[in-house]
Amino acid sequence: MFQIQSVGKNISTLRKSKNMTQMELADEMGVSFQAVSNWERGATMPDISKLPELAQKLGVSVDELLGDEKEAEAIKKLVKGEETEISGEELVDIAPIMKPTQIKKEVERNKQKISMQDIIALAPFMDSEGLKEIAETLLEQGGILEGNMQDIIALAPFMDSEDLREIAETLLREEETLEGNIQDIVALAPFMDSEDLGKIVKTFLADDKVSEDNIPDLTALAPFMDSEDLGEIILTELKDDKDIENINGFLQFLEEDSITNIVRELLKKGKMKIKNLEKWASFMDEDVLGDVVEELINNKEYKITDLQPLMQFLDGDKIKEIVMKMVKME
């Protein structure tokens, strides 16, 4: 693959050997002197179509200009036009100086010679539309299969978030294990917009094939989701009388208001105990925590010693109030 800095050094050396200024070379090439400066500093490369002309102006072959015969040959093929055949390896080599539209065109034209590993190597230089088409083709060919799914995950960092959302929705429609599909979405999540991810999870949980008995553990998605969306999802599931696996694992990703609403729903359904509250206390508003503790002690099943782990999170006056209430109840 191109070493852009090395090519830039070659351009600079050859220009100086011709006793030309950057401005003079720029005028000869029909570009700005800033463009020539960027070439020589290795910040950018000349347009691929200009390389033969640049080599001619500097009195060398394209091979000598680039310092690599293989890459030069690939460029010559590309500049020749429509009938040129180019291998995946050659395309990967010259991708850094190609425009996204050029790469897409060559991939389509020479697709029989380009492997999936070539595509993954080309991904940083391709536009999101071209990558979406490739990912969709993989899904049509059995994207839920491990091999194809791993290819899609490898392309994900370079894809548009909305396109990834569509892929994730396709995965959830597949008649495979829910847990397996969720793990695939977890792999895509770091590259998705949090809003799109929230829509995915809401759609997933609303699906008829997801029952209380087979809800996968979604905590792995929590770090990538909007905290408000996450709170709404958990609250909705609780109101629908569904158990949330490893609910404590969501706490660090939830806003205080969401935690308050969830605690009150658990309390309402009789699923909140003092022992559970110990894990929630550090994430809760102090006043809300005090009110919840007061409500819990009304069932008279707790002793003052049971409240010891919560004392550090409660206001002194509230502790006195709760203790006095428990004493009177004994």
pLDDT tens-digit profile of 129-185?
888 888 777 767 654 344 567 888 888 899 998 888 888 777 766 655 555 567 778
For 149, half-sphere exposure in the C-beta direction (CA atoms, 13 angstrom radius) is 16
The model's confidence at residue 275, banded by pLDDT at 50, 70 and 90, is confident
Provide the pLDDT for residue 54.
Answer: 92
**What pLDDT is attached to residue 242?**
67
Mean pLDDT of 270-294: 87
For position 184, what pLDDT does the model report? 79
In this prediction, residues 8-30 reach a mean pLDDT of 93
- Reply yes or no on whether the pLDDT at 240 is more than 90: no
- Residue from 119, 132, 125 nearest 89 by CA: 119
Higher pLDDT, 225 or 73: 225
- What are the pLDDT digits (tens) for 174-192? 655 555 567 778 888 899 9
Place of tokens 């490893």: 246
> CA 175, CA 172: separation in Å to the nearest integer?
8
Q: What SS3 state is found at 60? A: coil
The number of C-alpha atoms within 13 Å of 269 and in the hemisphere containing its C-beta is 14
- CB 281, CB 289: distance < 8 Å: yes
Rounded Cα gap, residues 322 and 311, in angstroms: 11
Q: What is the mean pLDDT of residues 6-25?
A: 92
For residue 80, the model assigns a pLDDT of 66
Model pLDDT, residue 179: 57
* Tokens matching residue 297: 């002690």
Which of the pair, 21 or 111, is modelled with greater confidence?
Answer: 21
Considering only residues 97 and 207, tell me which one the structure prediction assigns the higher pLDDT: 97
- Domain range list for the chain: 1-97, 285-330
pLDDT the model gives residue 146: 44
pLDDT confidence of residue 144: 39
Is the pLDDT at 273 greater than 50? The verdict is: yes
Q: What is the pTM of this model?
A: 0.67
Long-range CB contacts (within 8 A, 24+) of 111-119: 113/85, 113/86, 113/87, 113/88, 114/87, 114/88, 115/88, 116/151, 117/88, 118/88, 118/89, 118/91, 118/92, 119/88, 119/151, 119/155
Pick from 103-117, 168-182, 226-240: least confident: 168-182
Tell me if the domain spanning 1-97 has CATH number 1.10.260.40. Answer: yes
Instruction: Calculate the average pLDDT of the chain.
Output: 82
The tens digit of pLDDT for each residue in 298-328 reads 877 788 888 888 889 998 888 888 888 888 8
> Cβ(54)–Cβ(20) under 8 Å?
no
Nearest CA to 134 out of 161, 107, 100, 98 is that of 107
Q: State the sign of the Cα–Cα–Cα–Cα dihedral 83, 87, 89, 90.
A: negative
Residue pair 293/310 in contact by the 8 Å Cβ criterion: yes
